[in-house]
């Protein structure tokens, strides 16, 4: 949450920072601001998206080779100009931006108020900034030293960038919990929350670690720990192309990402799954195969869409591997007192690898002796660094706030892990194993076929866009897909939607059913297909509108449905990879039809780095 960008070097900082902020807008878009060191400090900030900031600075002096910028997802204080970052210290000499939450800000604020400090915003950021200034003044020390002293007292998460009017050729940065990447150019440096603002300038980056401070000049990058010891910057090469962060002709990133799925699932399987020879190569998992096979249980920890992937995986692991699985919301897991045994295997599922709740939950489990495996999309992310091993999903940069291609890549990776363990453990026979490998390798082509229904789904969205509520029902492997379909619709179209196990619907939600309620059945063919057909009948009998996702060749469901979307036949274990796609399209088109900004739905942010 919140995106931060910094630039120092030979170019004008303003265009680099503004462009970077646009790339990071998916992290929050309540307000945006920029500070430039330009013979003094120039600070411009505005409530709303980056475009509003750009408009506000037309005609202003935006020169300067050092600049920092921020796009905000509000935590402390409403979205407004005054709460927008950057903030400027009481003395007027230091500007700062911040991503994270300072938990002990109230106590520090009181201390500063007693010393005569005043605050022009409601943010925790302004408190930390003035705390730093106070230390700098009292110790008559450099800004870097003041930051170091201040951070030793800070409880919470932060990535901060500071510029000093009196030292315009330096940016000071520090992180704990919130990400920071530094791009290394020729006599210039780029700082950002992720690599997307950096990739067009350089592919050499340093991922700053927790508790590190960076002293960044045009021609120099110094990293130190909070004990003032120099750290060696570890330079990595970015594996990211510019096209991956552009819309490439699509109206929205979300639609582009939905359409990328045949390729992203293929990329995820490539080099790992050899269906012909029945081999699955996953280095990180291989290393822990013994522990996974012998685990008393596996606990999947995740949030949101990633949690839904965990639910599908629970069914798959239990079916194929015969290992008990629990699926936990990270936010609940971290605050209760869960029983964790040494040797329990935790699978952390996260697109961003930065979700604060997931990160803290796995740190807690790790302390108690659990083995942590990450199923993550962002390489080098915080969760990746805490995990013992894992498997990346290789879905590429996901920019739309509503997760789509990351979800199907998570399902593909989790299915491969389950198959690998089941085969090694011999909990499934060779015939089933080979059949499922073949089923999985066929998925990218089958997703392409599902996407051919694009226009049909678009037409359905027009028909149903004015509904007040939606109910999504599914059974077995498709139950979590019903939850995911409902979540997508809520996020993008702001229509109230609930996902439910199809049979459980009789225990309450059926009271909602009338002729106005669209009920989406995720009803692809599986072992219990007849059961969900009965559930359709129950809805039809109460005049609900039935929209069904069905398998080709199903002749019964259409007779009970107002509308159907047909997907290719597939084994029930891999069917969720197909059945979720029309639900993503439906949510997308309803959101667009209602005129909403589907890539940046209200109140949301892509990467939830606060609890």
Cβ atoms within 10 Å, residue 345 = 24
| Packing angle of the helix pair 576-593, 454-464 (nearest 10 deg) | 50
Give the active site residue among 2, 159, 321, 437: 2
Distance, in Å, from the CA atom of 499 to the CA atom of 484, rounded to the nearest integer, reads: 8
| From candidates 67, 304, 310, 396, binder to ligand M6R by CB under 6 A | 304
Check binding of 582 to ligand M6R (CB under 6 A): no
**Candidates 15-23, 104-112, 280-288, 602-610; binding stretch for ligand M6R (CB under 6 A):** 602-610
How many residues are present in the chain?
611
Given candidates 355, 415, 557, 561, which one binds ligand M6R under the rule CB under 6 A?
A: 355
238, 205 Cβ separation under 8 angstroms: yes
Of 250 and 528, nearer to ligand M6R (C-beta) is 250
**Tokens 């920071």, residue?**
180
Nearer to ligand M6R, 350 or 493 (CB): 350
Residue 216 lies near ligand M6R (rule: CB under 6 A): no
Nearest-approach distance from CB 398 to ligand M6R, in angstroms: 9
| Closest approach of ligand M6R to the CB of residue 306, in Å | 4
Give the x-and-dash track for 363-382 against ligand M6R (CB under 6 A). --------------------
DSSP 544: P
Residue, CB closest to ligand M6R: 304
DSSP result, 332-382: HHTTS-----TT-EEEEEESSS--HHHHHHHHHHHHTT-EEEEEESSTT-H
Q: Residues 43-47: contacts with CB within 8 Å, 24+ apart?
A: 43/86, 43/88, 43/95, 45/81, 45/84, 45/85, 45/86, 46/81, 46/84, 47/79, 47/80, 47/81, 47/84
| 194 binds ligand M6R per the rule CB under 6 A | no
Among 196, 264, 306, 408, binds ligand M6R (CB under 6 A): 306
For ligand M6R, what does the binding mask look like between residues 381 and 410, x meaning CB under 6 A? --------------------xxx-------
545 is catalytic: no
327 binds ligand M6R (CB under 6 A): no
Cα 611 → chain centroid:
14
Known catalytic membership, residue 600 = no
Q: Contact letters (x/-) for ligand M6R, 261-300, by CB under 6 A?
A: ----------------------------------------
Asked if residue 358 binds ligand M6R (CB under 6 A), the reply is yes
Nearest distance, CB of residue 219 and ligand M6R, angstroms: 35
How many residues contact ligand M6R, by CB under 6 A? Answer: 16
Cβ burial 118-139 (10 Å sphere, 16+ → b, else e): ebebebbbbbbbbbbbbbbeee
Q: Could you tell me the smallest distance in angstroms from the CB atom of residue 300 to ligand M6R? A: 12
What is the rounded CA–CA span in Å between residue 217 and residue 201?
A: 17
Q: What gap in Å lies between CA 172 and CA 96, rounded to an integer?
A: 9
Of 123, 125, 130, 350, which lies in the binding site for ligand M6R, with binding defined by CB under 6 A? 350
Q: Which of residues 476-495 bind ligand M6R (CB under 6 A)?
A: 491
Within 13 Å, how many C-alpha atoms sit on residue 256's CB side? 19
Q: Does 303 bind ligand M6R (CB under 6 A)?
A: yes
Q: Which residues pair with 3 in a beta bridge?
A: 71
Q: Which of 399, 317, 386 is nearest to 351 (CA)?
A: 399
For the annotated catalytic residues, the residue numbers are 2, 606
Interacting residues with ligand M6R (CB under 6 A): 303-306, 350-352, 355, 358, 401-403, 491, 604, 607-608
């Amino acid at each position: 949450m919140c995106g931060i960008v910094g630039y120092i070097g030979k170019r004008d900082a303003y265009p680099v920072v503004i462009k970077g902020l646009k790339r990071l807008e998916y992290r929050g878009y309540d307000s945006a601001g920029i500070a430039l060191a330009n013979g003094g400090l120039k600070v411009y900030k505005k409530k709303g998206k980056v475009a509003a900031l750009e408009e506000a600075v037309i005609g202003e002096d935006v020169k300067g080779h050092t600049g920092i910028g921020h796009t905000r997802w509000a935590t402390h204080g409403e979205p407004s100009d005054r709460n927008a970052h950057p903030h400027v210290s009481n003395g007027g000499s230091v500007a700062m931006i911040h991503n994270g939450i300072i938990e002990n800000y109230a106590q520090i604020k009181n201390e500063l108020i007693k010393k005569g400090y005043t605050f022009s915003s409601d943010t925790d950021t302004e408190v930390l900034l003035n705390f730093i200034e106070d230390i700098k003044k009292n110790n008559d020390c450099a800004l870097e030293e003041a930051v170091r002293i201040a951070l030793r007292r800070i409880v919470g998460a932060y990535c901060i960038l500071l510029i000093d009017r009196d030292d315009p050729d330096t940016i000071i940065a520090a992180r704990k919990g919130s990400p920071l990447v530094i791009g290394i150019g020729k006599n210039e440096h780029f700082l950002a929350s992720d690599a997307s603002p950096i990739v067009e300038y350089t592919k050499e980056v340093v991922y700053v670690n927790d508790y590190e401070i960076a002293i960044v000049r045009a021609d120099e990058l110094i990293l130190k720990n909070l004990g003032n010891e120099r750290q060696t910057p570890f330079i990595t090469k970015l594996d990211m192309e510019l096209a991956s962060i552009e819309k490439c002709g699509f109206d929205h990133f979300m639609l582009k990402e939905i359409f990328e799925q045949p390729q992203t699932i293929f990329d995820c399987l490539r080099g790992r799954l050899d269906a012909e020879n029945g081999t699955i190569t996953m280095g990180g998992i291989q290393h822990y195969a013994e522990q996974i096979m012998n685990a008393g249980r596996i606990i999947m920890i995740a949030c949101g869409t990633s949690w839904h992937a965990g639910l599908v995986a629970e069914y798959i692991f239990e079916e194929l591997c015969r290992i008990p699985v629990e699926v936990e919301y990270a936010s609940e897991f971290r605050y209760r007192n869960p029983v964790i045994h040494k040797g329990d295997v935790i699978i952390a599922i996260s697109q961003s690898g930065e979700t604060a709740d997931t990160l803290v939950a796995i740190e807690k489990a790790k302390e108690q002796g659990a083995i942590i495996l990450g199923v993550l999309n962002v390489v080098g992310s915080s969760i990746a660094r805490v995990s013992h091993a894992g498997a990346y999903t290789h879905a590429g940069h996901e920019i739309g706030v509503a997760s789509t291609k990351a979800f199907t890549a998570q399902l593909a990776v989790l299915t491969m892990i389950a198959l690998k363990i089941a085969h090694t453990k011999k909990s499934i026979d060779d015939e089933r194993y080979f059949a499922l490998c073949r089923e999985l390798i066929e998925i990218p082509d089958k997703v392409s076929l599902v996407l051919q229904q694009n226009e049909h789904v678009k037409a359905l969205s027009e028909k149903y866009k004015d509904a007040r509520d939606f109910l999504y029902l599914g059974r077995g492997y498709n139950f979590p897909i019903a939850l995911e379909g409902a979540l997508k619709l809520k996020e993008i179209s702001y229509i109230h939607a609930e996902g439910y196990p199809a049979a459980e619907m009789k225990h309450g939600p059926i009271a909602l059913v009338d002729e106005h309620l669209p009920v989406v059945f995720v009803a692809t063919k599986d072992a219990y297909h007849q059961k969900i057909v009965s559930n359709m009948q129950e809805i039809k009998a109460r005049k609900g509108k039935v929209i069904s996702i069905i398998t080709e060749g199903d002749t019964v469901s259409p007779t009970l449905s107002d509308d159907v979307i047909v997907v290719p036949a597939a084994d029930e274990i891999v069917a969720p990879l197909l059945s979720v796609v029309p639900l993503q399209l439906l949510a997308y088109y309803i959101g667009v039809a209602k005129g909403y900004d589907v890539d940046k739905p209200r109140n949301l942010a892509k990467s939830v780095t606060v609890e």
